[in-house]
Every structure is written in structure tokens, then in C-alpha cells.
Amino acid sequence: MKKLAILALALSATTTAMPAYAADADIGGLVALSVCDTLGVSGLTIASDDTCLSISGEVEYEFEYEIDGATGDHDTSSEVDWELVFEAFTATDLGTSRAVLALVPVDPADPASPVEISEAFVSFGNTTLLTVGYTETIFEVAEDQLILDDLDFDDIDDSHVIQVVSVLDNGTYFALALEDLNNDGALGAFVGYEDDTLTANLGGFIYNLYDVLDSGAAAQWNIYGDALAEFDDTEFFAAFVAAHDRFDTVTSVGVDLDDVFLKAALGTHYDVATTAWAHTLGLGFTLDFDPVELDFEIATTDFTDLAVEMTLELNEDMEIELGASVDDINAHSDAEAELTLTVALGEALEVEAWTAVEYYAGPGTTIYGVGGGVAYEPGGDFEISAGLESWSNGDMVAEFGAAKAF
């Protein structure tokens, strides 16, 4: 998450930098460290006298062959997706300056695809960090601590920004930002606090700033907050989003009883236009009897739709997952269920098999599916995988993929 990454960077900047030399036991003397060592930047790096350039990225290939059971048509897709990131760090008397440039293809399916910039920004500072350029928003709300993630939040897309985040010694942090400057304009702020027991965050923003300033339009806004309190055997979580057209809340509690962890959550949604309320209730537990662990969750909205998830870890190498949902348990409605078995064959190889059933109320049809896959991760951030699925209506999909990060 962008906000947490910025806070971590600001906090790390408060620590004392390493000296530009280190003892070498083999020669019994002192050898100079590069500026990358001094700044704590690792990985693939290039160092000058005062600047460290870090280069990272990923290349991913995916191939898919699909048969439409209804028409008999065959379709293929082949994509090469990649990302290349350059980060330059320079230490100054007033803090570390950083420039980031990230490149991705516009269309991974086109070998001659033009390249687009996914991030391009500069930042500067230690405990107060200024970020300017094209990057992610810093306005975020936690919403899925236990079971539910029902908050309706107006995310601001990657955009042109001017962001200032400041971290105080007592665990308090605050921020002020102009974002979406290349589109509709957004203005907001947040304040937060973090220590060993409590993490809290309260903020808000207007995301049609230019319309408000230029034509006096009504503001479109979000005010949000979240808080997590963790004690020895109990945790409490609460979050809300208040907007110009709705109000959402999520609360949850978890209690650890040695080998049993109990959890419950409640979500609410209010629509201003219709004045209608919706309520979501979630209950669950985790049983931990090493090496067996069972996690179970059930959630329902107004006792109409229903979703169940269960994960059973038989040991560190074998896991069974069951998921099922019904759109409306009081009416003739769509429903689906899936059972998955995952087995690790050693540290690098993983095999998966699944079966599923889907019911569509409109035509009154039920289809069944089976599938499986294999993934191999030998190390070095390399992964290769293949999968096959087949359905009773004649649909079939074969997949192959490989990826390498650096």
C-alpha cells in the first residue's frame, strides 16, 4: 500500500546512516562502501559518488487456449507483460532525494506495443516527505481486518500529485495532498497514529475539485477512518466511509482462546438517495491443532445472499479449500461452489486440483467443472505454471505461464 510504503520510507530515514567504510577480516583493513550500501539500497544497483541507481522489474508470459462449448469456436491469447523500474537515491544534508521512473507496455498482447509510464515522480525529505509527479494516491482506508471488506470507497486512480507526509517521534503522522491534477482534481488530508497496540487513521478528500472551483458544483467527497486495537488475546477493528451519497461501516472482533480463534464482523451500508439500509453479518473461527488448522467463515447480507469459505490445512504440504455462495437464499437464484486441493511436492513444486458446480437461475441450468494445475518455483524469483480446466457444457481452457522478477 502506497501510504504504508511512504511512512516506512520516512521512518527509515530517521535512522542513522551507516559509515562509508567497514572492517574486512580478510585483509585486516578498512574498505570503502558504495553510496548504495550507505543508503541501504540492495539488489541490482549502480553507484556514482553521491547517487545510487536501483534497477528492478519483472517479465511475465501467459498463453491461453480456449474452446467455447456452445459454438465450438477456438480462441487463443498470448501476452508478454513486463515492468521496468528505475529508482535513483541521493543523500543530502536535508534528507534523501529519490526519483522513480516505471515503464510498462500499453498492450501486453502486442509484441510491438508502445511503452507507457506507470509511475514518474520525485520525493525528498526525512521525517517530512514531499512527493511530486505521477504516482499512486495516499488516501486509503483499511476495511478487511476480519471476514468482511464491504466499504464503498472512491479510490483515486494513479495521477499527477503533490503530496506531503510528515512523521513525528511519538508515532503520529499526517499528510496533505493535491491529487488527480491532470483530470478532475482532488484535495485531501489525513492524520494517523501507530504504536504497539493501536493503529488509527482519519482522513478525507474532495475528488471533483476543479468543478467546485470553476462552476460551483456540489462537492463529491469521502471522509474515512479506521482503527485497530490489538491486545494479548483480543483485537478490535472499526472502519467507516462517509460520502456525499452513502455511508458504510465495518466492525469486527477477534478473540484468541489458545487453540481456537473466534471472529465476528458486522457491516452496514446506507444509500442517501433511497434511504435504504443493508446489513452484512460475518462469523468464523480458526482451529489450530498443529499440524492441522481449520479456518471457517460465513457471511450474509440481510439474510438473503450467503457466502461460505473453509480452508483445511492437513499439514504444511497439503491444503483443502471450499467456497460456496448463493445470491438469494429466499428465492430461486444463482449459486456456485468450488472445492480445491493443493499439495506441495517439495519446496519448489505445487500441484492443484479442483472441482466446481455453477447454477444459473435464468435458464435453469447447472454445469460442472474440473481442473488442475502445476506451479514450479526453483528460486531466483522465477516461476513456471500450467493449468487445464473442462466444463460439462463443453467449455475448455488450457493455460501456460512463466515469470521472472529481478
Location of each CATH 3.30.1300 domain in the chain: 317-406
pLDDT digits (tens, 9 = 90+) for 9-47: 554 544 433 333 333 334 344 444 689 998 899 999 999
Percentage, residues of the chain above pLDDT 90: 84
> What CATH architecture does domain 317-406 belong to?
2-Layer Sandwich (3.30)
pLDDT digits (tens, 9 = 90+) for 131-188: 999 999 999 999 877 999 878 999 999 999 999 999 999 999 999 999 999 999 999 9
Q: How far is CA 252 from CA 51, 123, 149, 324, in A?
A: 46, 36, 11, 22
> Parallel, antiparallel, or unpaired for β 29-32 and 186-194?
unpaired
pLDDT > 70? residue 385:
yes
Task: Please count the CA atoms within 13 angstroms of the CA of 295 that sit on its side-chain side.
Answer: 10
Helix H, strand E, coil C: the string for 3-20 is HHHHHHHHHHCCCCCCCC
pLDDT for 62: 98
Burial class of residue 124 (count of CB atoms within 10 Å of its CB; 0-12, 13-18, 19+): middle
Task: Please name the residues in contact with 4: beta carbons below 8 A apart, sequence gap of 6 or more.
Answer: none
pLDDT digits (tens, 9 = 90+) for 298-343: 999 999 999 999 999 999 999 999 999 999 988 878 999 999 999 9
User: Which DSSP string do the residues of 192-242 spell out, in sequence order?
Assistant: EEE-SSEEEEEEEEES-HHHHHHH-PPP-EEEEEEEEEE-SSEEEEEEEEE
The model's pTM is 0.85
Q: What is 137-303's CATH topology?
A: Porin (2.40.160)
Burial 150-172 (b: 16+ CB within 10 A, else e): bbeebebeebbbebbbbbeeeee
pLDDT for 21: 31
Sign of dihedral through CA atoms 32, 38, 40, 45?
A: negative
Per-residue confidence at 199, pLDDT binned at 50, 70, 90?
Answer: very high
Location of each CATH 2.40.160.10 domain in the chain: 137-303
